[in-house]
């Protein structure tokens, strides 16, 4: 029922956004049926101690590795953080001159803030082009940033600004800035 509601709200009959949600929810609903079809005690099946090597591997992958994401040792999206607000974000800040040198398909996503700063929000760009959010990891932001720099002619007036995941208690984000030279080839 949960997956049906998600599909109704986010699918083609609802908001019609974020195409990655649709196959994911169909697959999860199908897996739930396959896993627990004709099972008298599904809770025991989930919580029972491992009986095979495959169960032990799955327990590590699904139960332990996601917790490692809180320390930055495992990717947020692989840990169920999609739509949690507990993910990193990045923007590219640039001059008017650098923005004009970008290809038209990138340039149309560069916005000007109220302060007159030219900004390319990587999440918004990804959603607009791919209808799916960007992958919120620093290594991915750096690769995308290096490619934007390359397409703008390796200017010195473009900065990649990465906002880390919010801290657990204060909610503050660590902010890191790198120019095109610091990005190198990603």
List pLDDT tens digits, range 13-50.
766 666 777 787 888 888 877 776 766 666 666 666 55
The two counts, helices (H) then strands (E), for the chain are 10, 5
For residues 186 and 182, give the distance between their C-alpha atoms in angstroms, rounded to a whole number: 9
CA distances from 67 to 42, 56, 62, 63, 87 (A): 24, 16, 9, 7, 14
**Cβ–Cβ under 8 Å, residues 37 and 52:** no
Show Cβ contacts of residue 133 under 8 Å, excluding neighbours closer than 6 positions.
Answer: 18, 20, 82, 123, 126, 127
- Reported as a single tens digit per residue, the pLDDT across 77-117 is 888 887 777 899 999 999 999 999 999 999 999 999 999 99
Angle, alpha carbons 89-66-169 (nearest 5°): 60
For the full predicted model, state whether its pTM sits above 0.85: no
Helical axes 21-36 vs 2-10, angle rounded to 10°: 170
Nearest to 87 by CA among 44, 141, 33, 49: 141
Tell me how far apart the alpha carbons of residues 69 and 168 are, in angstroms, rounded to a whole number: 12
């Amino acid at each position: 029922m949960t997956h049906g509601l998600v599909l109704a709200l986010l699918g083609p009959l609802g908001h019609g956004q974020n195409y990655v949600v649709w196959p994911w929810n169909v697959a999860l609903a199908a897996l739930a049926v396959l896993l627990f079809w004709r099972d008298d005690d599904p809770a025991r099946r989930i919580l029972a101690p491992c009986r095979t090597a495959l169960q032990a591997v799955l327990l590590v992958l699904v139960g332990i590795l996601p917790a490692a994401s809180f320390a930055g040792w495992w990717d947020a999206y692989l840990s169920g953080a999609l739509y949690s607000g507990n993910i990193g974000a990045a923007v590219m800040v640039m001059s008017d001159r650098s923005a004009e040198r970008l290809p038209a398909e990138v340039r149309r996503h560069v916005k000007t803030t109220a302060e007159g700063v030219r900004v390319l929000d990587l999440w918004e760009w990804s959603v607009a082009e791919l209808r799916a959010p960007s992958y919120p990891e620093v290594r991915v932001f750096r690769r995308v940033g290096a490619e934007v720099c390359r397409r703008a002619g390796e200017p010195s007036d473009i900065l990649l600004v990465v906002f880390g995941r919010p801290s657990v208690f204060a909610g503050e984000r660590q902010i890191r800035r790198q120019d095109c030279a610091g990005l190198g080839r990603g």
